[in-house]
Structure 1
Amino acid sequence: MSATPNTRRIAAAALTAALLVPLSACGSGGDEKKADDAASASVPASAGAKAANLTVLAASSLTDVFNTAKAAYEKSHPGTKVTVSFAGSQELAAQVKQGAPADALVTADTKTMDGLKAETNDATVIAKNRLVIATGKGNPFKVDELKDLADSKIKVVLTAPEVPVGRYGEQILDAQKIEVKPVSQEPNVRAVLSKVELGEADAGLVYKTDTVKSGDKVVAVDIPDEQNAVASYPAATLKQSKNAEAAAAFVAWLSSPEAQKILQDAGFQKA
């Protein structure tokens, strides 16, 4: 039996509707993909970065500022956790040579870093510092200049000469022909500061930045530039790092405006 005109019209309409369904679905999927792509583009690349747990070895004089810096870095780099191990630069160098698991190193002098060229990649100086005389609360011995440290009545504590700040201290004292007989030589600058804060020593040579958070526990006596030494802080990734890309990103960030502001707010000088 032949189809009537009305029947043919109904069949044609049904066929058209059936053909439009997959086309509509394709159009919807394309719009969703575009929306997904736009959403992905609006998310910072670091938010989708592979998580990394970084271990950074840093000079003890960086203790306070690096605790602030690592919190800022973790906030702007989701998925990355930074653990910082602090010690004297010579101790850190020994750890690196012994193969301690770490990703990056920051020392308080270029000499120590230069001695680790076999273990590190290229280094970049991220900050500078200067020495001051730290004296007890209220400066009871009225220490005003380097030559006052030669007074036998003053208990002076220094860092060991193999420590960067100890080497800098020895350098500036020798240049002024000042002989100081310390009551002790400490393994790092924080130990010197602690002894002065606790009253176990009357004075010591430390970095200017070390005295920032001591409040009235110590008095920082400035040393004139012509008698002082400039300490440079180089940073480098370690060749043994298992997180090479993430470690390189952190070291590069230390020279960024954000990190430099943190360092300079803590009293460090621009590199």
Structure 2
Amino acid sequence: MKRLAAALALPLVFGLLSGCSGDDGGDDGSGSGRLTVLAAASLTDVYEEMATGFEKATGAEVTFSFGSSTDLAQQVADGAPGDVLATADQTSMQVAEDAGVTGDVETFATNVLTIVTPPDNPAGIRSLDDLEGATWVRCSDEAPCGRVALAVLEANGVTAEPASLEDDVRATLDKVTSGEADAGLVYASDAVAAGDSVATVEIPGAEHQLTSYLTTTLEQGKDADLAQEWVDYVLSDKGQAALADAGFSAP
């Protein structure tokens, strides 16, 4: 139902924009009609929802590459193709900015860390302290979710070592939903996306270790107008509402 709601709502936002990119794919070379968005793994579900209505409104085709923000930013800095970049922290976006491949950078959401466990919580995880002796996982130190996890653990005096370090937050979540881990540290939005597949344990004070999401168009993009339309939607009231429904917080 959420995907359907997004599909119905987005055309209202983009009705006036659809003429900018056109349905013909820009045969004269002024626009490709195709949009490639490189985005943090934690944006997977909400961005795919947004794309449904965006494609109907603009006649464009949206392709995503989801992964670690750090890896994606380095890829675009090295010249990898793409029209839009969205990262889960400033540190990653700075890599792309320093390379001179970004347009205006906008902050569009924030997120907090939470603990997820299998639905029956077999290890009895009730707080960060319970991670000691449990099989738990988090993101690698290089990924934004890993940097936030390190800050939260340090702030709470937790020294328990994870069973593994994952490439991104979705890989961390998968370890829990597959039953390979007793717990994982993921973003609140990932817990929402997982639904009944996980139980959630909030971390008191986690809001003091917010991570900010930033987005920008890319110099190597093939359709600057279409890329800006996507960024504008993410920043619009409708886009912000979709993000809130997905468990993200306001910028």
Please tell me the TM-score bracket, short chain as reference.
0.7 to 0.9
In structure 2, C-alpha distance between the alignment counterparts of 1:260 and 1:133, rounded to whole Å = 24
What residue in structure 1 maps to residue 104 of structure 2?
Answer: 122
Query: Does the aligned pair in 2 maintain the 1:54–1:246 contact within 8 Å?
Result: yes
The answer on 1:148 being equivalent to 2:147 is no
The question of 1:65 aligning with 2:65 is answered no
The match for 1:76 among 33, 54, 57 is: 57
Pairing partner for 1:162 from 129, 138, 142: 142
Q: 1:81 to 1:138 in 2, by over 3 A?
A: same
The C-alpha deviation readout for 1:229-256, integer Å capped at 9, x for no partner, is 2111100011111211221221122111
* Aligned twin of 2:18: 46
Q: Report which of the two structures shows the higher radius of gyration computed on alpha carbons.
A: 1
Q: Could you say which residue in structure 2 is the equivalent of 1:132? A: 114
Q: Specify whether residues 205 and 245 from structure 1 end up closer, same or farther in structure 2 by C-alpha distance, changes over 3 A only.
A: same
Q: CA deviation at 1:179?
A: 0.4
List aligned pairs for 1:1-271, cutoff 5 A. Answer: 44=16, 46-47=18-19, 49-50=21-22, 51=25, 52-77=33-58, 79-117=59-97, 118-149=100-131, 151-152=132-133, 154-225=134-205, 228-271=208-251
Unmatched 5+ stretches in structure 2: 1-14, 26-32
- Cα gap change, 1:44/1:218 in structure 2, threshold over 3 Å: closer, same or farther? closer
Given the superposition, is the C-alpha separation of residues 57 and 48 from structure 1 closer, same or farther in structure 2, using an over 3 Å criterion? closer
Superimposed CA distance per residue, residues 6-28 of structure 1 (whole angstroms, 9 cap, x where no aligned partner): xxxxxxxxxxxxxxxxxxxxxxx
Structure 1 residues 160-214: Cα deviation after superposition (integer angstroms, max 9, x where no partner): 0000000000011112221021111000111111111111111110001111232
SS in 2 for 1:177: coil
How many residue pairs were aligned?
226
SS of the equivalent of 1:223 reads: coil
Kindly state the Cα deviation for residue 48 of structure 1 after the two structures are TM-superposed.
6.5
Cα distance, 1:101 vs structure 2: 0.9
- Please give the alpha-carbon distance, in whole angstroms, between the structure 2 residues aligned to 1:115 and 1:48: 30
Q: TM-score, normalised by structure 2?
A: 0.85
Give the alignment's TM-score, normalised by structure 1: 0.79
Unaligned ranges ≥5, structure 1: 1-42
> Considering only aligned residues, what root-mean-square deviation do their CA atoms show, in Å?
1.7
Structure 1 CA distance, aligned partners of 2:220 and 2:78? 11
How far is 1:228 from its partner? 4.9
SS state at 2:96 partner: coil
